[in-house]
A and B are shown apart, each in its own frame.
Chain A
Amino acid sequence: GDSVTQMEGPVTLSEEAFLTINCTYTATGYPSLFWYVQYPGEGLQLLLKATKADDKGSNKGFEATYRKETTSFHLEKGSVQVSDSAVYFCALAPGGGADGLTFGKGTHLIIQP
């Protein structure tokens, strides 16, 4: 079945550091890929998405590129802020418009001032 693997956390960085959170997936067909973010005490919010190979999703300074050849969708940000501290979830939706999302375990990001 479909699965998503993302790097274990917590990831602790200093403010203005470069961020990479790795995400790889296993899926049949052509899934869409997502990053969701969960701030403390809140529900998940869509951060960005990409629906086909080589697409780049971007939002709030975060980027991720859909790499079919490496089955990856790594999240990057050039300069993180304390307010980026949250749990980040990589997820995929099966191709063909099927319902539901398959999530990774989440990566807890801690940004220190």
Chain B
Amino acid sequence: NAGVMQNPRHLVRRRGQEARLRCSPMKGHSHVYWYRQLPEEGLKFMVYLQKENIIDESGMPKERFSAEFPKEGPSILRIQQVVRGDSAAYFCASSSPPFSGSTGELFFGEGSRLTVL
């Protein structure tokens, strides 16, 4: 049973280019979370999605960042016009049912490391 799959593992972009990060949740999971880990910092929540629906995007920067989780296919985190400050590790996690601290567990992927030159 495959775990959470993220790709690419490493992505290099020049300033102004677009970055697309993909996440396939664990089989049977329909809830996806994206986190960003900046150097020397912990993980920061970005967005929580269900299939075809954004539940909570309170952690997403207002500009250039977007996320989707279509009915078919992986969840995608898209960063337009990347800047050096976007360099970070982006982690996807999934759960089913929706993560609940009292009963659930988040399962994380290995992360996608974005480097902006």
Contacts and interface: CB of A to CB of B under 8 A. Distances in A.
B33 interface: yes
Interface in B2-56: 3-4, 6, 31, 33, 35, 40-45, 48, 55-56
Contacts of B55: 99
A82 interface: no
A43 B111 contact: yes
Contacts, number: 70
B42 A106 contact: yes
B2 to A, nearest CB: 13
Contact of B91 (A4, A43, A94): A43
A37 B3 CA distance: 16
A84 B107 CA distance: 20
A105 B41 contact: yes
A94 B111 CA distance: 24
B108 A45 contact: yes
A97 B33 contact: no
A104 B44 CA distance: 9
A69 interface: no
Contacts of A36: 108
A7 to B, nearest CB: 13
Interface of B: 3-4, 6, 31, 33, 35, 40-45, 48, 55-56, 91, 93, 98-102, 105-106, 108-111
Interface of A: 4, 31-32, 34, 36, 41-46, 49, 51, 89, 92-95, 97-106
